[in-house]
Amino acid sequence: MPRLTIIGYGNPLRGDDGLGYHVAERLARKVEQEGRGRDIEVLVLQQLTPEVAEAVSGSERVIFIDATCRLPPGRIACEEIVPRFPRHHPTTHHLDPAGVLALARLLDPGCAPQALLLTVGGDSFGYREAFSATAAKSVSAVDRALDQWLEGFLSP
C-alpha cells in the first residue's frame, strides 16, 4: 500500500475548477516517471465518490487538492481534515474530504491517516478549459510546494 495518497479533483471543463484535476494529472506523470508509485498513489478525479475511501483507508497520509470560490482568487490555503460523516446521505455529488475520511474509517476502523486539504481560490468557473491568469500562477506555486513537500516526505 502507498504511504501517501494525493487526490486532485475538479471539473477540467469548468475553468479554474479543474485546478486540482490538472495538478494531480501532472503529479501522476511525475510519480510514474520517477518510479515512486510504491510510495505515492495519485488519483485524478472529477469528483469525490464513496469508492475513493478504499484508497484512503490504506494510506498513512492523504492530500486533497481542489479549487474553491470561498477564497479570494489566487489565494492558497492548507488545512487539516478530520473525519466527519456528511449530514446527508453521501452521494457522488455531495462528498467532501471529511466524508471520504469517515467512510475510510468504516472500511478500516484502524484507519487514521493524516489528511490535508490544499485549496486554491479560483476566479473563473465557467465553461472553458483554460485557467484564469490568477489560477495559472497559483498552479505553478502549488506544483512547486508539492514537489518540495514530497521530497521532504520521501527522504529517509
* pLDDT, mean of residues 30-46: 90
CATH number 3.30.160.20 is the correct assignment for the domain at 4-154: no
CA distance linking residue 37 with residue 15, whole number of Å: 29
CA distance linking residue 116 with residue 78, whole number of Å: 7
Q: 146 or 87: whose pLDDT is higher? A: 146
| In the chain, domain spans | 4-154
For helices 133-154 and 19-33, give the axis angle rounded to 10 degrees: 40
24 within 8 A of 42, measured Cβ to Cβ = yes
Tell me the CA distances in angstroms from 62 to 27, 87, 112, one per residue in order. 14, 22, 10
Q: Give me the pLDDT at residue 89, please.
A: 59
Q: With bands split at pLDDT 50, 70 and 90, how would you rate the model's confidence at 117?
A: very high
Give tens-digit pLDDT for 41-97. 999 999 999 899 998 998 999 999 999 999 999 999 999 999 887 666 555 556 899
Query: Is this model's pTM higher than 0.85 or not?
Result: yes
